[in-house]
Structure 1
Amino acid sequence: MWLAILLFICWGTIASGQTPSALRRENPVQGQGVSREVRDIYEKGLDWLITSQTPDGAWPSPNNPGPGPTGLCVMAFLAYGEDPNFGVHETPVRRAVQSLIREQDPKTGYLGGSMYHHGFATLALAEAYGAMDEKRLWDGADTPVDRRRSIGQALELAVRTSITSQDKNSTGGWRYAPNSTDADTSVSGAILVSLLAARNAGIEVPDKNIDRAISYFTSMTSKSGQVAYAGGLGGYDESQARVSIAALVYSIAGRKDLTEFKACTAFLKAKDAIKVGDHYGEYTAYYKAQALFQADIEAWEKWNKLLIQELRQSQKSDGRFDGSFGPNVATSLSLLSLALNFRFLPIYER
């Protein structure tokens, strides 16, 4: 009975011509304690993403084709906590997941462009798996039957690609291509987080693959908590992004006992707030928010307050953010750096 009443109320609201943001405010789903300021920033960003989605369901990045940006945008919608099977986000999220699956090689499972794209797209599939109604996934889609797979099938294929790629790599990590023989901590972070999310979702990911990847990260982490890029390339510089990635994977892999984790956390806590408009600023904020949240909730709360003010000032009047990889990526990453305030996605659980 209550569901019928809710449907009636929501249908009447939509028919009255109210905006998506207005509809959300009348039917809030967020947990208590999320400030109006955070919700306003997030809602404006999501409204802009709805307008920037292409007809085929993707959110492309200029000069960097591949499904990774679409995966990040899917994550931004799912992280807000609204039911992806009903309401103002149902259609954009369903069309985006369809786009991710169409981009996947049906034989290899590769979500191509690069392993960066593969990692972020796999992460989105892992978080969508179980949250979306598979029976309705392909409703209204002009997609050949042989290219239609369930989210679970696509996710299992993507995980197989990542594991096969790592098995061929002597470093235990990942680089730009599935057949790369070297690795870097940035690409490896994207893949490892997606594998951990897939494992949380019930997909089989062998412990040996997780352990090898963690060993790769420990080999790249210095006693100071700084993290190298690739085989010494870039050295142990001041990159908060790489340190955040390492701290995050140590946390969600259940390895907070490592001295490397403690060193990375201390390094991050000693650094100032991120300027989102800086080069790679939104990318760094995305990872640092998660790393601090997992490592030290008090440190995250302090840093989060500064981040909220930074994002409020840098958000454009139409709701988008600008950054190094174009507005679709900058907006999704910026929103996801706020998503710990909502804490709906399984990958954001402590």
Structure 2
Amino acid sequence: MTNVTNMLLHRRSTLHPPVVRLAIFLSVLTVSFCGIDQSAWAQLPGQRYGEVVPRDVREMYERGLIFLAKSQGNEGEWQNTSHQGPGVTGMAIMAFLASGEDPNFGQYAGNIRSGLQAIIRGQDADTGYYGNSMYHHGFATLAVAEAYGTVDDRDWSGDKMRSLGKSLELAVRSSLTAQKNSEFNAWRYSPTSTDADTSVSGAILVSLLAARNAGIEVPDKNIDQAIGYFTSMTSDGGQVGYSGGMGGMGDSLARSSIACLVYAVARRKDLPKFKATVAHLTSNLEQQARSWPEYTRYYQAQALFQGDVEAWEKWNVGLVRQLKPMQQTDGSFKGQLGPIADTSLSLLAMALNFRFLPIYER
């Protein structure tokens, strides 16, 4: 591995301001295009840019972003009709970032930056908790982790506006503290919960893995414990239970997708339970979620992409066909979670076509 590639792997280090980290990234991109050490890249440049993104996806995505931009509050937050909180704002931010929009100078840079500032302003300075519920904390943490290293926050310093790196460190600490309270070494709705469920735990664990990929210290012990919880909740057939022990076992595409994703991002693809979830998902590509379809498709997209790219490609064609007539005239998507969350999750389900978010890399 070349020195410049090593620099890429550490481009989010706090030793480098965002502008320098971006310059490092561009220099490595140039080297890769020249054919040097391309084996270090998880996916080819041609897979990320150009006409490989279907026209329908590009058009639907842009309409969705226009809706989100127009719907943003004056303080940078996104108010949802239900399930309101920093997690919803985080979802919207990720939707912008996922299409490759320049977060510093692009058309939607102001939306991205003010959204991040809204999340940080609402963070508890002592505990690092983003608030409302651990669901919201997980999605808000994920958004900050994905923005860290790409958003220039050097002019944000102040008593009420900590940097992205500092905010992310506090958020990670909050998640790890909450994990200690659980007898299952996982998470549920409150940071003081003693039980756990695989849905909330998935949101937190993915955010921790994203933070670790961004250069924030997350002990292996905590990741191992959380993965242990997921393996205990996954059957040999790839079905995943909901809460506590194996209680609530049943066929849930969302839960199987969440488990598959955390195994993959945690680099545990050697686990039999990972292979079981992949097999379960790929054998049910035509199955539709019985409830919370937007939430399910968000995780299905990532799980299939990580587990079986050919299966994802087939499923993705159906996804685009399914979502196209569902998009409203104003660019939004209407579902069970409220227009901001439904639109953001629908866009993010398609965002694997762009593959810009670090968490979307294989």
Give the TM-score of the pair, scaled to structure 1.
Answer: 0.87
Code of the residue aligned with 1:298 in structure 2: it is E
Aligned with 1:148 (options 152, 155, 161): 161
**Structure 1 residue 232 displacement after superposition:** 5.3
Aligned with 2:55 (options 16, 36, 40): 36
Aligned with 2:192 (options 158, 171, 179): 179
Code of the residue aligned with 2:334 in structure 1: it is D
Structure 2: how far apart are the matches of 1:123 and 1:273?
Answer: 29
CA contact (8 A) 1:273 1:307 kept: no
CA contact (8 A) 2:233 2:246 kept: no
| 1:227-268, Cα deviation, whole Å (9 max, x unpaired) | 000025862211100000000000010001111111111111
- Superposition map of 1:97-116 within 5 A: 97-116=116-135
Aligned with 2:71 (options 52, 58, 68): 52
**Structure 1 residue 35 displacement after superposition:** 1.4
Aligned to 1:6: none
| 1:286-314, Cα deviation, whole Å (9 max, x unpaired) | 00000000000000000000001011111
Aligned to 1:12: none
Aligned to 2:299: 287
| 1:74-111, Cα deviation, whole Å (9 max, x unpaired) | 00000010211012111111110000001100111000
**Structure 1 residue 122 displacement after superposition:** 0.1
Aligned to 1:11: none
Aligned to 1:262: 275
Aligned to 2:249: 236
**Structure 1 residue 222 displacement after superposition:** 0.7
Structure 2: how far apart are the matches of 1:95 and 1:131?
Answer: 15
Structure 1: how far apart are the matches of 2:84 and 2:339?
Answer: 14
Structure 1: how far apart are the matches of 2:324 and 2:155?
Answer: 36
CA contact (8 A) 1:73 1:328 kept: yes
CA contact (8 A) 1:321 1:334 kept: yes
SS at 2:248's partner residue?
coil
SS at 2:78's partner residue?
coil
Aligned with 1:219 (options 227, 232, 255): 232
C-alpha RMSD of matched pairs (Å): 1.5
Structure 1: how far apart are the matches of 2:69 and 2:333?
Answer: 14
**Structure 1 residue 272 displacement after superposition:** 3.6
| 1:133-160, Cα deviation, whole Å (9 max, x unpaired) | 112447xxxxxx4211000000000000
Aligned with 2:337 (options 306, 325, 342): 325
SS at 2:154's partner residue?
helix
Structure 2, unaligned runs of 5 or more? 1-47
Structure 2: how far apart are the matches of 1:174 and 1:279?
Answer: 22
**Structure 1 residue 274 displacement after superposition:** 6.1
Structure 2: how far apart are the matches of 1:232 and 1:168?
Answer: 16
CA contact (8 A) 1:60 1:67 kept: no
Structure 1, unaligned runs of 5 or more? 1-28, 139-144
Structure 1: how far apart are the matches of 2:191 and 2:238?
Answer: 29
CA contact (8 A) 1:30 1:80 kept: no
Residue 327 (structure 2) pairs with residue 348 (structure 1): no
Aligned to 2:170: 157
Q: Closer, same or farther in 2 for the Cα pair 1:312/1:274, shift >3 Å?
A: farther
CA contact (8 A) 1:274 1:281 kept: no
CA contact (8 A) 1:274 1:307 kept: no
Structure 2: how far apart are the matches of 1:179 and 1:265?
Answer: 33
**Structure 1 residue 61 displacement after superposition:** 2.4
Residue 153 (structure 2) pairs with residue 134 (structure 1): yes
Structure 2: how far apart are the matches of 1:257 and 1:108?
Answer: 35
Aligned to 2:212: 199
SS at 1:147's partner residue?
coil
Q: Which 4+ residue blocks in structure 1 deviate beyond 6 angstroms? A: none
State percent identity of aligned pairs: 60
Aligned to 1:26: none
Aligned to 1:93: 112
CA contact (8 A) 1:59 1:70 kept: yes
Structure 2: how far apart are the matches of 1:273 and 1:341?
Answer: 20
Structure 2: how far apart are the matches of 1:219 and 1:31?
Answer: 42
SS at 2:104's partner residue?
coil
Give the TM-score of the pair, scaled to structure 2.
Answer: 0.84
Structure 2: how far apart are the matches of 1:273 and 1:155?
Answer: 38
Residue 138 (structure 2) pairs with residue 122 (structure 1): no
| 1:188-230, Cα deviation, whole Å (9 max, x unpaired) | 0000000000000000000000000000000000111100000
Aligned to 1:73: 92
**How many equivalent pairs are there?**
315
Structure 2: how far apart are the matches of 1:164 and 1:33?
Answer: 43
